[in-house]
Amino acid sequence: MRTALVNGRVLTGERIAGGQTVLISSGRIEGVVPPGDPRCRDAVIVDLEGHILLPGFIDVQVNGGGGVLFNDDPSLDSIRAIGAAHRRFGTTGFLPTLISDDLDTIGQAIAAVQASLDARLPGPLGIHIEGPFLNWARRGVHDPKHLRRLDDGVISLLCSLRGGCTVLTLAPEMTTTGMIAQLAAKGILISAGHSDANFAQISAAIAHGVRGFTHLFNAMAPLAPREPGIAGAALFDANTWCGIIVDGHHVDPVMLKLALRCKRHDKFMLVTDAMPPVGSPEPSFILQGRTIHVKDGVCRDENGTLAGTGLDMATAVRNAVSLLDLEIAEAARMASEYPAAFLGLDGELGRIAPGYRANLALLDEDLRVQRTWIDGL
């Protein structure tokens, strides 16, 4: 059965334009064609009513949603609930994210994600293991009792996911460049974060396989005049990706505007670092024994430490437009095309183009999500 999405404005390439019909067949985009294309005659017509059709958003850092925290219950049901909550806000692909925990819980989380991939659950693309190989001084809300150095004993566990992406956030100073190279060679996507490493240490880690940086500027040593540190390395290196939280609280918008002047925009990706409040009205939740209070989408523990966000990807896109002065098309690409490239999935996700999976989000003039499709459904 062929579906024709008509009467919308479509992001193809770098611009949003009208006068195009998107044909979907067998879960993939068959073509982006003029409305008079003969293949439209036998298709199911879906009127987009002039709304904006974007590639579905891809979020590489999702701790929870719908009242569910992945660390609390690393299971198939949790992934299903989290995915359903975020899909309402345009996210059609995501990495369930486990913050620092014990090795048994990491194993359970990987097994749950494997089950979701085997079951072809809509949404999950792999797993993000954020810690426990982090610097104690930059741990944020991560429980210090779980922090440890990365050694040979956990390599097989970290590399056990089959058929999906594994992102590992680590502090490079908590392991060796040889270990980083070994993980990268096995296909692990290594992101530096929660780190106090200096510029030389980060540069060496990049040379050995670090691919990106987790929530730029947060939980990392700041820029200094005689020591650029991890933030300086992230902005100086042209080939690594930077995840950015655009909620107006984690990072001052001026700092993010400065960052965007330092390297190409396609090396930045919007992330939510979302917690259970996304898609849930609850004013608080429990994170590893601590009560986290939520106010205006901001999550803090009893000491005022930021603890993830109540941010969804549609809001992140709106914020990128309003706070960072980006065009809608560019903000949308930061939520779709660029994270797909970071994950190595840019040949099938993140664009509206022939052959790509039909993962799509339909937004109105206010950039509120009206409908989503995952593999055409």
40 plus 168 within the same structural domain = no
121 plus 134 within the same structural domain = yes
360 plus 219 within the same structural domain = no
Within a domain: 361: yes
Give the separation between CA 312 and CA 253, rounded to whole angstroms: 17
Q: What is the pLDDT of residue 260?
A: 98
72 plus 49 within the same structural domain = no
Sequence-distant (≥ 6) Cβ neighbours of residue 168 within 8 angstroms: 128, 129, 133, 158, 183, 188, 189, 190, 191
48 plus 83 within the same structural domain = no
Quick one: which H or E segment has residue 235? helix 229-236
47 plus 137 within the same structural domain = no
Q: Worst-scoring range by mean pLDDT, 243-252, 271-280, 294-303, 306-315?
A: 294-303
49 plus 63 within the same structural domain = no
Within a domain: 350: no
Q: What is the pLDDT of residue 64?
A: 97
Q: For residue 183, is pLDDT > 90?
A: yes
Give the separation between CA 309 and CA 245, rounded to whole angstroms: 9
Q: What is the mean pLDDT of residues 301-316?
A: 94
Q: Mean pLDDT for the chain?
A: 96
Q: What is the mean pLDDT of residues 289-306?
A: 90
Within a domain: 275: yes
Give the separation between CA 97 and CA 30, rounded to whole angstroms: 32
Q: What is the pLDDT of residue 1?
A: 86
305 plus 167 within the same structural domain = yes
CATH number at residue 247: 3.20.20.140
Q: What is the mean pLDDT of residues 305-332?
A: 97
Within a domain: 348: no
Give the separation between CA 314 and CA 320, rounded to whole angstroms: 10
Q: For residue 185, is pLDDT > 90?
A: yes
Q: Find the helix packing angle between 76-87 and 103-118, rounded to 10°.
A: 70
Tell which wins on pLDDT, 335 or 1. 335
Domain of 364, in residue numbers:
2-54+355-373
pLDDT digits 0-9 by tens, 326-346 = 999 999 999 999 999 999 999
Within a domain: 238: yes
Q: What is the mean pLDDT of residues 146-168?
A: 95
Q: What is the mean pLDDT of residues 158-164?
A: 97
CATH number at residue 36: 2.30.40.10
Question: What is the edge-to-edge ordering of all strands in the sheet holding 298-300?
Answer: 284-287, 290-295, 298-300, 306-309
Annotated catalytic, 312? no
46 plus 157 within the same structural domain = no
Asked if residues 5 and 12 have their Cβ atoms less than 8 Å apart, the reply is no
329 plus 368 within the same structural domain = no
pLDDT band at 296 (very low <50, low <70, confident <90, very high): confident
Count of domains in the chain? 2
For the chain, give the percent of residues with pLDDT over 70. Answer: 100
Q: Find the helix packing angle between 253-262 and 313-324, rounded to 10°.
A: 80
6 plus 74 within the same structural domain = no
pLDDT digits 0-9 by tens, 27-78 = 999 999 999 999 999 999 999 999 999 999 999 999 999 999 999 999 999 9
Within a domain: 243: yes
273, 301, 325, 366: the active-site residue:
273
Within a domain: 316: yes
Within a domain: 349: no
321 plus 336 within the same structural domain = yes
Q: What is the pLDDT of residue 19?
A: 93
pLDDT band at 106 (very low <50, low <70, confident <90, very high): very high
Q: For residue 297, is pLDDT > 90?
A: no
